[in-house]
């Protein structure tokens, strides 16, 4: 605009031309000033940039997004880092937010992980848990029934055990009494007090024991004979019975 | 007798031909270089040249020298068996809840969650130490007076009764370890820029607890839950207030889906706190997985 004014034929006055020139000069000066200010800023930043941290990737004193022009380290070339930059700074980071969604590989990994223990539906889980409870209760019931069955026979078994114990006691008592009888007999035989450990006493004891054994054997033989005779008698009785039955059957026919 | 050349003549002939003497051509002086003792007989005896020491019996490193070792000394006690596999629920009493509500640390106009309780800063809870959430205890059941929609990981019967008596609602829900970390510090999770994951199933031990209406499990039948509410009211002797007539009915009915971690946010979405944006994917395979 200002250039046209200079060539304008209507501008007769030299003063007008001067004004336009002044305005041009003014513009030019303001532009120069702006440029100088910009240059100063850059220089001051460079002077402050002692450790080069404005452009470095390691030092991040002031949290700001790192633009993609800077060279990346190996830990910064990962998906995870780029997602984090988007999460921290948003669109100002210059990153495409499509990377934040789960990829197909990640979904496959998740599914494989869930197959181990987390694959079932909620209804299925509940049914399985109830089944487990029921099985526990079943086993408990079975055990209880066993115990009840055994408790019925408890009294019988108690008595049997008592009898066994009594029998043993009785045998022990009888053996003692036998021994005492023998000793008394031997003492009576001698008539005077002798030490039982003496030789004469023990010789007599042996003789008496032998006599007693013979008596016992004779008694046992007698018992055997009696049993045998009883068996024979019972057999004859049975055979006579059978013959009677046969005769009755024949008669009916 | 001269057969051929003289020794001196030999030497001079050689000198003409051989290269110049340098360091590379000279060998070391004898006795300055030691022999390498790499062969069997080079060791100078069983002590290897180090002499006889007063104590020649050196025990193995770490052994306790004829004592009963520490890890065998004490017998096993079965009361601590499998302690590292058991879940812990650090408690929050009803007194504690009432104080949080009275001091405005927790907003009653919205449903109360594990995240809301952790945000107060007064509840210590470490998922890395096998802590699986909040255990609501009875203490303060006679003092409690607040109508809330509460979500908790474990609750006793009388605590449930105390909350329902005042017109509130309680559910018990299970969160797996990853979801617990996310709930505990949601800001940290959203700064990672990942999409929200799905919640996983409860383990076999806990299935019955979270599917039964007695304990207000999140997987239980809602009809059975309403029946159990009546039963509890009769047991503890209070009149069950009607929820439908309540002006806050919508807030009290707000429940999470079993696969949902946050109220109002579904799995598969990406949330950005800086720009305050929610991003949803268009990919059908991704959506298929997250919506199943």
Three-state SS letters, B86-128: CCECCEEEHHHHHHHHHCCCCCCCCCECHHHHHHCCCCCCCHH
| Residue B97 clears pLDDT 90, i.e. is over it | yes
Query: In the prediction, which pLDDT does B109 show?
Result: 95
With an 8 Å Cβ cutoff, is B277 touching chain A?
A: yes
Query: Tokens 């998906």, residue?
Result: A79
By C-alpha distance, which of B166, B152, B131, B143 is closest to B94?
B143
With an 8 Å Cβ cutoff, is A83 touching chain B?
A: yes
Least confident of A47-56, B17-26, B224-233, B273-282: A47-56
With an 8 Å Cβ cutoff, is A196 touching chain B?
A: no
Q: How confident is the model at residue A150 (pLDDT cuts 50, 70, 90)?
A: very high
With an 8 Å Cβ cutoff, is B186 touching chain A?
A: no
Over residues A102-113, the mean pLDDT reads 93
Over residues A172-194, the mean pLDDT reads 83
Query: In the prediction, which pLDDT does A59 show?
Result: 52
Q: Do B152 and B125 form a contact (C-beta atoms < 8 A)?
A: no
A36-60 residues labelled b (16+ CB within 10 A) or e (exposed): eeeeeeeeeeeeeeeeeeeeeeeee
- ipTM exceeds 0.85: no
> Which of B194, B268, B274 comes nearest A89 by C-beta?
B274
Over residues B130-141, the mean pLDDT reads 96
Query: In the prediction, which pLDDT does B291 show?
Result: 86
- Cβ contact, residue pair A90, B275, below 8 Å: yes
Query: In the prediction, which pLDDT does B42 show?
Result: 76
Calculate what percentage of chain A has a pLDDT beyond 90: 35
Residue A151: how many CB atoms within 10 A of its CB? Answer: 9
Q: How confident is the model at residue A187 (pLDDT cuts 50, 70, 90)?
A: confident
Calculate what percentage of chain A has a pLDDT beyond 70: 79
Over residues B245-263, the mean pLDDT reads 94
| Residue A16 clears pLDDT 90, i.e. is over it | no
- Cβ contact, residue pair B274, A118, below 8 Å: no
- Cβ contact, residue pair A120, B201, below 8 Å: yes
Q: What does the block give as tokens for B117?
A: 């309780």
| Residue B144 clears pLDDT 60, i.e. is over it | yes
Q: What is the Cα–Cα distance from A32 to A14, expressed in whole angstroms?
A: 27
> Which of A88, A90, A118 comes nearest B200 by C-beta?
A118
Over residues A154-163, the mean pLDDT reads 92
Least confident of A5-14, A202-211, B117-126: A5-14
With an 8 Å Cβ cutoff, is A125 touching chain B?
A: yes
CA distance A90 to chain B (A): 6
Q: Do B143 and B98 form a contact (C-beta atoms < 8 A)?
A: yes
| Residue A14 clears pLDDT 70, i.e. is over it | no
By C-alpha distance, which of B219, B99, B98, B117 is closest to B168?
B98
Q: What does the block give as tokens for B214?
A: 């007695």
Over residues B18-36, the mean pLDDT reads 82
Q: What is the Cα–Cα distance from B215 to B171, expressed in whole angstroms?
A: 8
CB contacts of B175 in chain A (<8 Å) are: none
Query: In the prediction, which pLDDT does A250 show?
Result: 54
- Cβ contact, residue pair B192, A87, below 8 Å: yes
- Window B:47-66, CB contacts with A under 8 Å: none
Q: Which fold has domain B88-291?
A: Ribosomal Protein L15; Chain: K; domain 2 (3.100.10)
Q: How confident is the model at residue B1 (pLDDT cuts 50, 70, 90)?
A: very low
> Which of B194, B203, B285 comes nearest A83 by C-beta?
B194
- Cβ contact, residue pair A125, B193, below 8 Å: no
| Residue A157 clears pLDDT 90, i.e. is over it | yes
Q: How confident is the model at residue B32 (pLDDT cuts 50, 70, 90)?
A: confident
- Name, in order, each residue with C-beta under 8 angstroms of A49's C-beta and a sequence gap of 6 or more: A55
Query: In the prediction, which pLDDT does A117 show?
Result: 83
Pick A6 or B50 by higher pLDDT: B50
Burial class (CB in 10 A: 0-12, 13-18, 19+), B61: exposed
CA distance B93 to chain A (A): 30
| Residue A247 clears pLDDT 70, i.e. is over it | no
| Residue B272 clears pLDDT 90, i.e. is over it | yes
With an 8 Å Cβ cutoff, is A87 touching chain B?
A: yes
């Amino acid at each position: 605009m200002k250039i046209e004014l200079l060539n304008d034929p209507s501008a007769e006055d030299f003063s007008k031309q001067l004004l336009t020139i002044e305005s041009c000069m003014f513009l030019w000066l303001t532009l120069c000033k702006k440029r100088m200010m910009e240059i100063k800023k850059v220089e001051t930043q460079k002077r402050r940039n002692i450790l080069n941290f404005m452009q470095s990737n390691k030092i991040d004193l002031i949290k700001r997004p790192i633009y993609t022009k800077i060279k990346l380290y190996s830990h910064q070339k990962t998906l995870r880092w780029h997602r984090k930059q988007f999460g921290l700074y948003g669109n100002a980071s210059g990153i495409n937010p499509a990377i934040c969604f789960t990829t197909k590989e990640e979904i496959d990994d998740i599914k494989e992980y869930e197959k181990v223990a987390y694959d079932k539906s909620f209804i299925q889980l509940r049914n399985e848990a109830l089944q487990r409870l029921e099985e526990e209760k079943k086993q408990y019931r079975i055990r209880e029934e066993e115990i009840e069955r055994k408790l019925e026979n408890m009294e019988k078994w108690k008595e049997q055990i008592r009898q066994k114990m009594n029998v043993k006691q009785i045998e022990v008592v009888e053996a003692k009494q036998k021994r005492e009888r023998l000793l008394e007999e031997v003492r009576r035989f001698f008539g005077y007090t002798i030490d039982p450990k003496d030789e004469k006493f023990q010789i007599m004891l042996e003789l008496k024991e032998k006599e007693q054994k013979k008596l016992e054997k004779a008694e046992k033989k007698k018992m055997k004979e009696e049993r045998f005779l009883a068996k024979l008698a019972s057999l004859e009785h049975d055979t006579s019975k059978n013959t009677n039955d046969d005769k009755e059957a024949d008669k009916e026919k | 007798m001269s057969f051929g050349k003289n020794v001196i003549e030999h030497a001079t002939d050689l000198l003409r031909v051989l290269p110049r003497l340098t360091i590379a051509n000279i060998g070391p002086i004898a006795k300055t270089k030691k022999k390498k003792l790499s062969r069997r007989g080079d060791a100078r005896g069983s002590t290897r040249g180090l002499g006889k020491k007063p104590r020649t019996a050196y025990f193995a490193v770490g052994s306790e020298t004829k004592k009963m070792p520490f890890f065998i000394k004490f017998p096993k006690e079965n009361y601590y068996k499998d302690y590292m596999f058991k879940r812990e629920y650090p408690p929050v009493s009803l007194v504690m809840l009432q104080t949080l509500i009275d001091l405005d640390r927790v907003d009653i106009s919205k449903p109360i969650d594990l995240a809301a309780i952790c945000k107060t800063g007064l509840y210590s809870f470490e998922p890395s130490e096998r802590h699986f959430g909040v255990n609501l205890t009875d203490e303060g059941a006679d003092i409690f007076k607040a109508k809330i929609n509460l979500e908790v990981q474990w609750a006793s019967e009388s605590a449930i009764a105390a909350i329902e008596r005042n017109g509130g609602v309680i559910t018990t829900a299970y969160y797996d370890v990853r979801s617990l970390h996310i709930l505990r510090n949601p800001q940290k999770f959203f700064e990672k820029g990942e999409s929200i994951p799905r919640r996983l199933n409860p383990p076999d031990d806990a299935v019955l607890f979270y599917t039964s209406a007695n304990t207000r499990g999140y997987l239980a039948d809602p009809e059975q839950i309403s029946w159990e509410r009546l039963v509890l009211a009769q047991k503890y002797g209070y009149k069950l207030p009607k929820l439908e007539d309540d002006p806050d009915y919508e807030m009290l009915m707000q429940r999470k889906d079993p696969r949902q971690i946050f109220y109002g946010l579904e799995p598969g979405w990406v949330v950005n706190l800086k720009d305050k944006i929610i991003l949803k994917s268009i990919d059908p395979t991704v959506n298929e997985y997250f919506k199943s």
